[in-house]
Amino acid sequence: MKIMRSVEQLREALSGQQSIGFVPTMGFLHEGHASLLEQARAENDIVVLSIFVNPTQFGPNEDLDRYPRDEIRDQQLAQSAGVDYLFYPTNEVMYPLDMARVTVRSGDDVLCGASRPGHFDGVLTVVSKLFNIVQPTRAYFGLKDAQQLALIEGYVADYFVPVEIKRCPIIREADGLAKSSRNVYLSDREREQAPGIQQALVEAKQALDQGQPLDTVLEKTRTLLQFEGTTIDYVEAVAYPTLGPIDATTETILLAVAVQFESARLIDNLLYTRGA
Amino acid sequence: MKIMRSVEQLREALSGQQSIGFVPTMGFLHEGHASLLEQARAENDIVVLSIFVNPTQFGPNEDLDRYPRDEIRDQQLAQSAGVDYLFYPTNEVMYPLDMARVTVRSGDDVLCGASRPGHFDGVLTVVSKLFNIVQPTRAYFGLKDAQQLALIEGYVADYFVPVEIKRCPIIREADGLAKSSRNVYLSDREREQAPGIQQALVEAKQALDQGQPLDTVLEKTRTLLQFEGTTIDYVEAVAYPTLGPIDATTETILLAVAVQFESARLIDNLLYTRGA
């Protein structure tokens, strides 16, 4: 595995490659990232991992400064997962002029977009730059960030970006908690509460399977997510991947939740296909 | 020359080509466009011309609905200039979702950007889409739209777009009026006045050569542009291509003007290299 810090260096290495699988991340890698890398490894000649804590997707009161970092462990995981090139840009590399941003016009008024104004503008800005740098054949994103994935798919379609976006499943701890770099923020007590998020989603799925009305299911999910010392950021259902309102024609529902713990905001979701 | 109306059709034709020269336009082609196409023809294996009157770069009170069109004459000119593929997308083709726009953060608060809010957001949005569709080796833009060219160069650098941007000279009528699709709007009397724009710029260049202070030159240019029945939109000087303020280190000055005639707003400019 080679570590690259400049665009020119990476482009030279990638020039003429047949197929490139790309996994963009913010580092502090866990098994969720590893599963993306493994799929990229299986499907491409070359695997590129980028690690960049992108400042433009953090709000002014968010955790940019304390976002967890562990370069050595990340490099070990990347090496084990068969990464060929690890790209570590700095802010100066990624934002040479910062003279334009990608601005989302629809699909960011719900879920995390409503809670985090400008977050997805920052995500699409950096992802579009990374796509231009790496020019991947396929790029891999986890369904844990379901809204992010839908917006990236939308951007790729809307802007004709020549890349195939791969949706990858949520990877969980043994007790069901969705893997996240931010889980490290949790106190012991919070870590015990946190698997309750997925339990609420499992119950939601059962209720939907039983034909209960969506509003009832959402209300029940809200009740189940009332952990002591936490607040619910949102419990919402939207059509997927349009992120628009659910109507009679909606095939796939995204039921997504965000819970604010004292020092971490955790998200999880359920993709539910009607009649399946 | 083949006419293409779908992205898929064009991409298939361009797949595997060695070098692609691209000239994006809004049609109603004139000798200015022809000169871009000739340069593209000389420097590339394949020449692609796009004709698309992009709605997102027009303001609500601008001339989108009456922008001049002449498909037959355009096709004749394109054919003569050696175009291989003429791409004619519709709004529906170019904006399949319209879920995100490119938004300019710096460089659009002067000149045409100040007069036409959102204009360059629309320009960069459509140009970035066209670049992704065509994936050109080189793209050709005229210096008549000097601010547009600088912002496209900035965007390409900031977003790592793998294309070489070629700056091409302003092409003029015999009497000095810069070629423009919008010249057709001019009344006979306005058409007689309009060459005065370039005459004012020629005098500005002479005054700068003589070492006159920039402010004096700008004031004199404003006086020269007082044509009967017209108003000056702007007479401004900025550093080029940064579009920022001029200081002691500025090597190249863009002296740009916009004059509002009754039914046409005409622009022209002078790139002046200090000490040259």
Q: Is A187 annotated as ligand-binding? A: no
**Is the bond preceding residue A89 a cis peptide, omega within 30 degrees?**
no
3-state SS assignment for residue B250: coil
> Which pLDDT does position B276 carry in this prediction?
58
The CB density around residue A144, as the number of other CB atoms within 10 Å, is 19
Catalytic residues of B: 33
- In angstroms, what separates the C-alpha of A72 from chain B's closest C-alpha? 28
| pLDDT value of residue A276 | 58
Residue-level pLDDT at A196: 98
Q: What residues in chain B have per-residue pLDDT under 50?
A: none
User: Quick check: helix, strand or coil at residue B54?
Assistant: coil
pLDDT of residue B121: 98
Query: Which H or E run includes B235?
Result: strand B231-239
User: In this predicted structure, what is the pLDDT of residue A275?
Assistant: 74
The predicted pLDDT at position B80 comes to 98
Q: What is the largest CA-CA distance in chain B?
A: 56
A237 close to A215: Cβ distance less than 8 angstroms: no
Q: Is B29 annotated as a binding residue?
A: yes
CB A17 within 8 A of CB A41: no
pLDDT of residue B209: 96
Cα torsion B146, B148, B151, B153: sign:
negative
pLDDT at A205: 98
Of A96, A102, A154, nearest to B102 by CB-CB distance is A102
CB atoms within 10 A of CB B21: 27
Q: Residue B42: in which H helix or E strand, if any?
A: helix B31-43
Of A103, A132, A157, the CB nearest to B159: A132
Active site residues of A: 33
Residue among A9, A99, A126 with most chain B CBs within 10 A, to mutate: A99
Site of tokens 């109603």 = B28
**Nearest alpha carbon to residue B22 among B75, B78, B80, B74:** B78
Helix axes A146-158, A119-134, angle to 10 degrees: 60
Delimit the domains of chain A by residue range. 2-168, 181-271
* Crossing angle between the packed helical segments B214-224 and B195-209, to the nearest 10 degrees: 160
A218 pLDDT more than 90: yes
Q: Pick from B142, B23, B19, B166: which is nearest to B81 by CA? A: B23
CA A143 from chain centre, in angstroms, equals: 7
In this complex, which of A99, A105, A135 lies closest to B154 when CB atoms are compared?
A99
Q: How far is CA A119 from CA A88, A110, A255, B105, in A?
A: 21, 12, 20, 17
Residues of B in contact with A7 (CB under 8 A): 160
CATH match for A181-271 among 3.40.190.80, 3.40.50.460, 3.30.1300.10, 3.90.1530.10: 3.30.1300.10
Domain B181-269 has CATH 3.30.1300.10: yes
Are the C-beta atoms of residues B132 and A161 closer than 8 Å to each other?
A: yes
Residue A143 is assigned to a ligand binding site: yes
pLDDT of A173 over the 70 cut: yes
pLDDT digits (tens, 9 = 90+) for B213-226: 999 999 999 999 99
Among residues of chain A, what percentage have pLDDT more than 70?
A: 100
> Using beta carbons and an 8 Å cutoff, which residues of A are at the interface with B?
7, 95-107, 124, 128-129, 132-133, 135, 151, 154-155, 157-162
Q: Which amino acid is at A58?
A: F
Q: Is the peptide bond before B162 cis (omega within 30 degrees of 0)?
A: no
Q: Do A161 and B132 touch (CB under 8 A)?
A: yes
Task: Please check the confidence at residue A91 and state whether its pLDDT lies above 80.
Answer: yes
Homologous superfamily, domain B2-168: HUPs (3.40.50.620)
Q: How would you class A96 by CB atoms within 10 Å of its CB: exposed for 0-12, middle for 13-18, buried for 19 or more?
A: middle
CA B221 to chain centre: 22
Sort out which chain B residues have CB atoms less than 8 A from A106's CB and list them.
97-99
Cα–Cα dist A88/B193, whole Å: 57
